Every structure is written in structure tokens, then in C-alpha cells.
A and B are shown apart, each in its own frame.
Chain A
Amino acid sequence: MDLKLDHHSEDRLTIVEVEGEIDVYTAPRLRELLIDLVNKGNFHLLVNMEKVDFLDSTGLGVLVGGLKRVRAHDGSLELVCTQERILKIFRITGLTKVFGIYASVEEAKEAHGSDK
């Protein structure tokens, strides 16, 4: 399955919807989108990974790169993910300590305070 990307803004938060496989072939498209969003002043990103079928270390590298970019602007990059097979790779690499990971977009928005 290919990678589908979409995004929209809710208050200060930009929600990035990702669907499909994030691997060495498709990850550059996600990297370009994240760079573009940051360049346009979107510094609080929430990446919804609920429809991601596959994620490898290339994809993790892109997410870490995005996090570094937003942090340079005092921003945030957080994730929505409940799939065990995706969460496992975050645990193996210790990245659960680096990313805020939420069970739903609503939960992330609440924690972020963007809906206040």
C-alpha cells in the first residue's frame, strides 16, 4: 500500500493524517511535508498514525527529524497511535520517552490544551 498524507489545522495544532506504509521508499514524502509545514510556521504538529500499516526506522528518522525542527521553534511533534505493532518499534528504540503518544486525536488535543 502506498502512503497517503493529509493535514489540517485546529487552533494552534496542525494534525497530519498518515495512511499506508512509511518505509525507505515513501518516508521522503512525509519528510517533505513536515519540513514544509514547519517552514510555513506550523510548530505544533500531531501525527495521526492510526491508519499506518507499516513503519520502519527510516520513518522513525523522519519523525525524529521533524521533532528536532519544531523544537528549534519551541514547538512540539506528538503522535496518535494505538497499534501494538507500530508501538513496538518505538519501544525497541526507546522513542516512547521522546514522543508524546496518545490514544486518540481528542486525547492529544486535550493534553495540548488546544481546545480550550
Chain B
Amino acid sequence: MATVELTFSALPAHVRTARLVATAIARRTGVEESLLDEVRLAVGEACSRAVEAHRLHCPGEPIRIELRDDLGRFEVTVTDSAPSDELEQDRALLRFDDPLVQLPDALMSGFGIAVIVGLADDVQVYPSQKGMRIRMSWPAATNGLSPA
């Protein structure tokens, strides 16, 4: 099992860096090229949600992202320190039948999670008062590293 960990300040500019790192490691782990866009978007959504939550609740705290090559799966876990609740997760499971009514102009965090659920092969969302953890994974080469 190979793991890469990254922590970053809750600044929107760093989300792109996190996306690029995740995509590069996914490629190296052997995730199919056709899935890399989904990895990039899902990781970006998880990190954007975390940045927005930290800016509201704890702007000085870093956000952590773990990227793991685990028995033929590429697994990404994004962990924040902002309090969240079950309601947010419930909203994520809804389709937005009338987004014009439901959405404010700015990002609604449940909207981002709904996108992740639609993109990742396997997603678990763990909300808590100490922060939210989003774990997602995609199939990868069973022998770990793809050719360099």
C-alpha cells in the first residue's frame, strides 16, 4: 500500500493543486485514462466543499487529503475540521429537481457532494461535529504502479 498525504490551507487557489496531485497519482496508480476526469472533478468537489466549510468555521485549520493505492483500488480521503451534520449528507442524496429554487448563488455544499456521488465509483461520507470525511475510490491496476 502506497500513501501520499497532502495538507493545505483553506484557500481556493490550493484546490487546483490538490486536483493536479490527485490526478497525477491516480494515473501513476493505474486508474484508466477514461476515469481520470472523474477523479479530477470528484477530488476538486470534495476539496472545494472543505475549503468553503473551513472559511466559514475554522479558516486557520488545514485540510487533509490522503491518496492511497489499496489492493487494486485508488482511494482518496478528504478530511476537514469544520462541523457538519447528517442533513448535509441527506441533501447530497437528493436530485435537484428545481435547482433554481433550491440553490443560492454560491456553492451549496450538498450540491458538491451530489456531484461526487454521481462521479465516484464508490463513495462514503462521514459527517460529524469534528468535521467531515469523504472517502471515494476507483478501480486501479492490481499490481499498483503503472509503468512510469
Interface residue stretch chosen among A9-17, A44-52, A87-95: A87-95
Count of chain B residues near A, Cβ 8 A: 30
Measured CA separation A110–B134 after assembly (Å): 44
Q: Is there a chain A Cβ closer than 8 Å to B115's Cβ?
A: yes
Q: Are B115 and A57 in contact (CB under 8 A)?
A: yes
- Is B105 interfacial (CB 8 A cutoff)? yes
Residue pair B100, A64 in contact (C-beta under 8 Å): yes
Asked if A31 is at the interface of the complex by the 8 Å CB criterion, the answer is yes
Closest A-chain residue to B106, C-beta based?
A61
Per-residue contact bits, chain A 59-75, to B (CB 8 Å; 1 contact, 0 not): 01110110110010000
A21 to B20, CA, bound (A): 13
Q: Does A56 lie within 8 Å of B112, measured CB to CB?
A: yes
Given contacts A93-B96, A93-B115, A94-B95, contact A61 B48 (CB under 8 A): no
Contact A93 B15 (CB under 8 A): no
A-B contact pairs, 11 of them (CB 8 A): A23-B12, A25-B12, A56-B115, A58-B48, A61-B107, A65-B103, A67-B100, A68-B100, A89-B41, A89-B115, A93-B95
Which A-B residue pairs are the 10 nearest by beta carbons? Answer: A65-B105, A92-B118, A25-B12, A24-B48, A24-B12, A57-B112, A58-B107, A85-B37, A57-B111, A64-B103
Task: Verify if A54 is at the interface (C-beta below 8 Å from B).
Answer: yes
Contacts of B16 on A, CB cut-off 8 Å?
A: 21, 23, 25
A5: interface (CB < 8 Å): no
Tell me the dominant secondary structure on chain A's binding face: helix
Residue A103 is within 8 A (CB to CB) of chain B in the complex: no
Given contacts A21-B16, A25-B15, A57-B115, 13 further A-B contacts (CB under 8 A): A24-B15, A25-B16, A57-B45, A57-B111, A57-B114, A61-B111, A65-B103, A65-B105, A68-B100, A89-B41, A93-B118, A94-B96, A94-B99
Q: Which residues of B does A touch, CB under 8 Å?
A: 12-13, 15-16, 19, 37, 40-41, 44-45, 48, 51-52, 95-97, 99-100, 103-108, 111-112, 114-115, 118-119
Residues of B near A58 (CB, < 8 A) are 48, 106-107, 112
A114 to chain B, nearest CB (A): 23
Within 8 Å of chain B (Cβ to Cβ): is A111?
A: no
A68–B103 alpha-carbon span in the complex (Å) = 10
Chain B residues near A24: list those with CB within 8 A.
Answer: 12, 15, 48, 51-52, 107
